[in-house]
Amino acid sequence: MSHVCTYWRDVALGTPLLWNSIDVYSIRSIECVSRYLDRSRNCLLDVRFDIWGSDRFLNGEISGAKILPVVDIVVQHIHRWKTLLVLASNSTTTASILSTLAHLEAPSLERIRIVDDGGDIDDEPPSPSGVFQPRPGVFIGGAPRLAAVWVNNLRVLPPLTNVTTLHLHTPSYFSSAELNPSSLKSLTATCPSLSSLSIRGNFRGDWPHGGPVTIPSLRSLWFESGDTLASSFLATVSMPNLVSLWLDCPQYRVIQRIFNSTSRPNFPALKYLTLQGFDFYASTHYAKAFPTITALHLPFCNLFHITFLKETLIENDHSRWPNLDTIVFRSLRDTHAKKFSTVIDDMVRERHNSIHPIRRLLVDKDVLANLYSADSIGARTDLKVLSADSFDDPWWIMSHMDSGDQI
């Protein structure tokens, strides 16, 4: 816009909001960043150290040292930071950037996302006591408006006092972080307003049988990892107000652990259940464990065994999942499209004739294009294409939010 003509250039230069996204890709961004900082005036800033592309070819210590001059320039405006993204390849590069921020205050910061490959730092041994004590590693001076945090290293946590959304993600091969009942208690004590928690990767820690941990504020939980942590967490932690659960892990092992638990966990408020990559074999077990759900989200499943879901929904006089009124499908392939269409048609018809109808069926465009019985299904339920605003699961909504720290 600033290159069209003199008039529009003046308009662009006089509109600070056009310059509030500060993108740093390497040390060569320094001149551009300085101009953007001046032109954005007093606007809040989306700061993005998106240096993975240049960082992956360098030694972490060298890369970290090279990027610090531009970091120092951006830090002069830290009072205006609204979001922060640090995306690097080397953990030492990330550490170099964060060390500059360690004792600073970020009064306007609302979101922070720290992501790296984690491959150049050796695994840290577990603490002698086995108890993790979360302490701020960045912005020790304070970040009173910080609400959303995404980190892959528990040693670089910002202040969590007002945080409502926390993503703990480690690279799949990197397992230095501890997460067990004791560390979870410590974490939730420092994060009393936590309502959304996602966990991905390998975390060390034993989950012995004992008294449950309670997180009354938690409303949304997402696991993307092996089955061990997810099953231990669900069998041990009490979440009386949990509304949304997303499982992207081996679900059969998870449900086995829940059913074998000495104190069967209870999720009285659960409404949204997502089973990513589900094979449908354990459909009945999930219906028994999570009977209160109103929406079942099934992304990227192998549809060949979908008859198990149909049997679950019509068994015991259609009493399984009595409140279920929405089913969501997203598929990777249409190999079994005809079988899928037939089963869905039967399932919707059976529930339509009962007192527990499926009122809404949301599918992606690929599924709809191969739904042979769409007319028949649409006559008995509200059949729609899945979109960013057609499904009100909290995780679905959050995953489609437009924020300055997105990757």
Binned at pLDDT 50, 70 and 90, residue 131 comes out as very low
Instruction: Kindly tell me if the per-residue pLDDT of 41 is higher than 60.
Output: yes
Element (H, E) at 75: helix 60-75
Q: C-alpha distances in angstroms, 168 versus 141, 157, 225, 309, 320? A: 22, 10, 11, 32, 34
pLDDT at 210 (0 to 100): 58
What is the domain partition of the chain in residue ranges? 271-407
Instruction: Kindly tell me if the per-residue pLDDT of 258 is higher than 90.
Output: no
pLDDT at 188 (0 to 100): 87
Instruction: Kindly tell me if the per-residue pLDDT of 220 is higher than 50.
Output: yes
Which of 218-222, 234-238, 281-285 is the most confident on average? 218-222
pLDDT at 102 (0 to 100): 93
pLDDT at 154 (0 to 100): 76
What is the residue-averaged pLDDT of the chain? 87
- Angle at the Cα of 189 from the Cα atoms of 177 and 136, rounded to 5 degrees: 55
Instruction: Kindly tell me if the per-residue pLDDT of 83 is higher than 60.
Output: yes
Among the residue ranges 111-115, 120-124, 230-234, the one predicted with the least confidence is 120-124
Q: C-alpha distances in angstroms, 203 versus 173, 178, 257? A: 10, 5, 18
φ and ψ of 82, to 5 deg: -105, -45
pLDDT at 335 (0 to 100): 65
Report which of 186, 237, 190, 192 is spatially closest to residue 210, judged by C-alpha positions.
Answer: 237
Instruction: Kindly tell me if the per-residue pLDDT of 251 is higher than 80.
Output: yes
d(CA 125, CA 178): 9
pLDDT at 235 (0 to 100): 86
Query: Residue 105 in 3-state DSSP?
Result: strand
Instruction: Kindly tell me if the per-residue pLDDT of 333 is higher than 60.
Output: yes
Instruction: Kindly tell me if the per-residue pLDDT of 225 is higher than 90.
Output: no
Among the residue ranges 187-196, 225-234, 241-250, 330-339, the one predicted with the least confidence is 330-339
d(CA 191, CA 128): 24
**What is the per-residue pLDDT across 16-26, written as a single tens digit (0 to 9) for each?**
999 999 999 98
Report which of 281, 225, 230 is spatially closest to residue 252, judged by C-alpha positions.
Answer: 281
Binned at pLDDT 50, 70 and 90, residue 325 comes out as very high
pLDDT at 120 (0 to 100): 46
Q: What is the mean pLDDT of residues 367-383?
A: 89
Give the list of residues 6+ apart from residue 141 with CB closer than 8 angstroms, or none: 103, 104, 105, 106
Query: Residue 223 in 3-state DSSP?
Result: strand
Report which of 53, 55, 12 is spatially closest to residue 36, judged by C-alpha positions.
Answer: 12
Instruction: Kindly tell me if the per-residue pLDDT of 132 is higher than 60.
Output: no
